[in-house]
Amino acid sequence: MARLAEKVHQLQQVQPFIDFPKGLKDSAENTPDNSVSEHLYENVRLLCWILTGAKNHQKKAIHVKATWGKRCNILLFVSSKEDSSLPTIAFRVPDTKTHLWGKTKEAFKFIYNNYSDKADWFFKADDDTFAIPENARYLLSRYNTSEPIYFGAKIKRSQSNSFASGGAGYILSKEALRRFATIALKNQSICDVKATEGKEDINIASCLNKVGVTLKDSRDEKGKERFLPFSPAFHTVPGTISDHWYYRNIYYKAHKGAECCSDTVISFHYVSPNEMYIYNYLLYQVRIHGTSPSIFPEHWTAPPPPDPEGKEPPWIGIRAERIKAKELEKKNTKKTR
């Protein structure tokens, strides 16, 4: 742990950077070093599947594909109607809110049977969710996908029950997906297999809990949320109604205003198509002169939580090597002067 702390301290002295998946840069100019992001893109494989409906294919879903969706390793759209422009995976389940549970069950079964060996983590989101896949990989890289765990905005139902908000999205490990598809969905006493109606986020939480899958704390080291069930305006603008159900039922104490959300936020909900393009531009193309905001690692006041297997987060070694290379380059430059 002492060695890890020393490396973190070293990293804090390095000019931070914004990360982009390999080959998916929005702007060719002034793009900072993205070696860590490329490493995570290749080693923390994220499948994103979007819950949508026929009437929203061109109104909403296509805009997810054009913005944040392209940064997932695999992007799927689940609907009731085939559409080659996305494309969609179609199930014979009505496109209504009351049937989200049926569509979610079918989607996860399909993904387990066809994609479980092609990704490590499985992110369910809505067609009005805006997500930052790079930040999701950053969080997930500290965990082992063979653990029965999942992540999301933790909402209280009672003192003993909680679930991950469906709108903010939730991410299942490979083992969580396996248990849901091969155990929960094959046992009516564990999961309501026959029903197609119901609240998908509450129902899947119940099923996962019964097969030993744990909803982890996804907040950052300052206790700020990474998965947000509402729009950025709701969470960041001062004066939000304090007795809103979100503040009454969020599992952990919610922050308001500018302190609402993690610097490594993963998702927001109720985001319009126009806003998706705005956020995409602000996040991936705007540069602040003289600074280079980054999720690495200026906000750490202590080493990040240890990996479950005792391994260092992968970017530690990558950036430590880059530090050495830059120091050597400086020494060689001085010698030639």
Structural domain of 280: 43-295
Q: Give the C-alpha separation, 99 to 216, whole Å.
A: 27
The percentage of the chain sitting over the pLDDT mark of 70, rounded to a whole number, equals 74
Count of domains in the chain?
1
Q: Is there a domain that residue 318 lies in?
A: no
Q: Read off the tokens for 214.
A: 């744990």
Q: Give the C-alpha separation, 125 to 115, whole Å.
A: 17
Residue stretches of the chain with pLDDT short of 50: 1-32, 295-306, 308, 315
Q: Is there a domain that residue 21 lies in?
A: no
Tens of pLDDT, residue by residue over 28-74, are 333 445 677 788 999 999 999 999 999 999 999 999 999 999 999 99
Query: 260 — phi, psi (to 5°)?
Result: -65, -35
Q: Is there a domain that residue 321 lies in?
A: no
Give residue 337's pLDDT: 61
Q: Is there a domain that residue 327 lies in?
A: no
CATH of the domain at 199: 3.90.550
Give residue 305's pLDDT: 47
Tens of pLDDT, residue by residue over 249-290, are 888 888 888 888 999 999 999 999 999 999 999 999 988 877
- Write the burial class of residue 258 (CB in 10 Å: 0-12 exposed, 13-18 middle, 19+ buried): exposed
